[in-house]
Structure 1
Amino acid sequence: MSDEVEPGSVRVRLDLSYDGRDFSGWARQAGGRRTVQGEIEDALRTVTRSARPYELTVAGRTDAGVHARGQVAHVDLPAEVWAEHREKLLKRLAGRLDRDVRIWRAEEAPAGFNARFSAVWRRYAYRVSDHPGGVDPLLRGHVLWHDWPLDVAAMNAASQPLLGEHDFAAYCKKREGATTIRTLQRLSWERDAAGVITATVRADAFCHNMVRSLVGALLFVGDGHRPVDWPGKVLAAGVRDSAVHVVRPHGLTLEEVGYPADELLAARNREARNKRSLPGSAGGAGCC
């Protein structure tokens, strides 16, 4: 599958952040629902005074209510539009966009760059408080309150068997034609001085609801409702378990997206489009 930029166009990388609470997710939707993609595309069209829309491609399509601090997208603009607006684009977008979404950088992307397919990892954080009094009101839109005391050491122990390449079908909402094989690179828990517990979750990619399902399973271990080996057994079963709770979205933030060196971007772009399979299972080509 080719990803060549059309002659006369420039691929622009956008680095952005948003508070997801008032968005119906990233992807533009029919019916007038407010989405991050829709807001930015509309603002971009307005500030460049363009007759046609410019579609964004994003590194991670976040769900409704999920936040992002380090989201990355790209857009292909006509060279003349980019030349005219590049110097003042950030300031003009800041004046047009609502305050819950901000673009921090807009730069010409290196050859082979694709915000989605060139990425080698995405890092999310999920924040939880088990304080008996609840969540700090100033953090309530970004931290989940769990009303049972949590054992961080137990959650870290239960996380270990989930690391590596697995079929995460037990923790994903299945989508037709999409694989649920992912490589989980990091899953760790840490309590800070204020008592907020943060799960750091990093993988090459995530399938739908994967982070929130993993967190839900591990919270059951942390509060003593399930044994330490339970999340690993759920993973090995390979099917959705009704006992795995998908936690609420507001505790989740996309923190960072990682990309390889510029000379490896095109190769990664091509590799990521191949449908993955585990050893001994049937593979196949196609977008993952």
Structure 2
Amino acid sequence: MKRIVLGIQYDGTPWRGWQTQPGGGTVQDTLEEALKKFSLMRIATTCAGRTDAGVHALEQVIHFDTELERESFSWVRGVNAFLPSSIAVRWAHQLTDGVSEQFHARFSATARTYHYVLYNHPVRAPLLAGKAGWVFRPLEVEPMRKAAQYLLGNHDFSAFRAAECQAKSPVKTMHEIRIERQGNLIVFTLKANAFLHHMVRNIVGSLIVVGNGNQPPEWLQDLLAGRDRSRAAPTFMPDGLYLSRIDYDARWGLPQEAACDVLLRLGLQS
């Protein structure tokens, strides 16, 4: 039995999220059907992090076990032949004997990075529909950057946790938050050891409240300390959210792409 790791990229707009659901319509269902057609056998996949409906992935990481003997490029080309244009296998990696059973797409991950792309303009942009969130009121980046600093470090993020979140603990470590503006686009980059359900969208929504001047930066500190989800901003739209990178120890030798390079190629920062 061999453990295969795949890097998956997808446009989440037409899908009901990552995780398999009755009736299908998810990225996992579609990927596993493509794997079945390519391998002529049922293959169950495990992902690094589930994404909701409408959320995109620049580089989702999954693993599965199989006895099938194939070269890495064959997994890429073969599975892609059965996938729709909105989903693609970007790379494949077969773990060597002796360490394959030790790798787990979710539990071996050391950090996750998300980008949220926001279009800040008085008039919506049809060509960005589904690819970027939209706020028509002017936003100031500096207050949002100041507010974001309160979220760095190890904290209880209950104030930004969805009611249906199944995580065992609301305590996570936020490694980095960057907010960059390029013209009418604002890109939020959040890196943490792990994220709660809707955590990124809830944080971005609250930062926007600071950016439009309705709350001071210190409000984020108060929200964090209060641990009360009802006091924070509503969950922001999924359109501009991208799972961009899952970090792993170098010993696994995964051929991962740099998320920022992918963003630049997509033109989201131009």
Q: Please state which band the TM-score falls in when normalised by the shorter chain.
A: 0.7 to 0.9
CA, structure 1 residues 69+172, in 2 after alignment: closer, same or farther (shift >3 Å)? same
- Code of the residue aligned with 1:220 in structure 2: it is V
- The offset of 1:35, in angstroms, is 0.6
Deviating runs (4+, > 3 A) in structure 1? 84-87, 174-177
1:48 match: 39
Q: 1:85-104 residue pairs with structure 2 within 5 A?
A: 86-104=72-90
Matched positions, count: 249
Aligned partner of 1:188 among 178, 189, 204: 178
Is residue 144 of structure 1 aligned with residue 133 of structure 2? yes
Query: Equivalents in 1 of 2:92, 2:83: separation in Å?
Result: 15
Fraction of identical pairs, as percent: 37
- Code of the residue aligned with 1:184 in structure 2: it is M
Q: Which of structures 1 and 2 has the bigger CA Rg?
A: 1
1:133 match: 123
| Residue deviations 1:80-105 (CA, integer Å, cap 9, x gap) | x1x14655222221211000000011
- Code of the residue aligned with 2:34 in structure 1: it is A
Query: Equivalents in 1 of 2:27, 2:134: separation in Å?
Result: 26
Q: Is the 8 A contact 1:234 1:241 kept in 2?
A: no
2:24 match: 33
CA, structure 1 residues 177+131, in 2 after alignment: closer, same or farther (shift >3 Å)? closer
Query: Equivalents in 2 of 1:84, 1:245: separation in Å?
Result: 47
Range 105-114 or range 38-47, more displaced: 105-114
- The offset of 1:242, in angstroms, is 4.4
CA, structure 1 residues 260+177, in 2 after alignment: closer, same or farther (shift >3 Å)? closer
Aligned partner of 2:108 among 107, 112, 118: 118
TM-score (structure 1 length as normaliser) = 0.82
Is residue 251 of structure 1 aligned with residue 240 of structure 2? yes
Query: Equivalents in 2 of 1:243, 1:181: separation in Å?
Result: 17
TM-score (structure 2 length as normaliser) = 0.87
- Name stretches of at least 5 consecutive residues in structure 2 with no aligned partner: 255-270
Aligned partner of 1:162 among 144, 151, 154: 151
CA, structure 1 residues 142+84, in 2 after alignment: closer, same or farther (shift >3 Å)? closer
- The offset of 1:263, in angstroms, is 7.3
Query: Equivalents in 1 of 2:55, 2:236: separation in Å?
Result: 11
Q: Is the 8 A contact 1:172 1:209 kept in 2?
A: yes
Query: Equivalents in 2 of 1:68, 1:19: separation in Å?
Result: 7
Q: Is the 8 A contact 2:223 2:232 kept in 1?
A: no
2:193 match: 204
CA, structure 1 residues 85+222, in 2 after alignment: closer, same or farther (shift >3 Å)? same
Is residue 107 of structure 1 aligned with residue 98 of structure 2? no
Q: Is the 8 A contact 2:140 2:212 kept in 1?
A: yes
Q: RMSD between aligned alpha carbons?
A: 1.8
1:18 match: 10
- The offset of 1:17, in angstroms, is 0.3
Query: Equivalents in 2 of 1:16, 1:264: separation in Å?
Result: 16
Q: Is the 8 A contact 1:48 1:85 kept in 2?
A: no
Query: Equivalents in 2 of 1:256, 1:87: separation in Å?
Result: 21
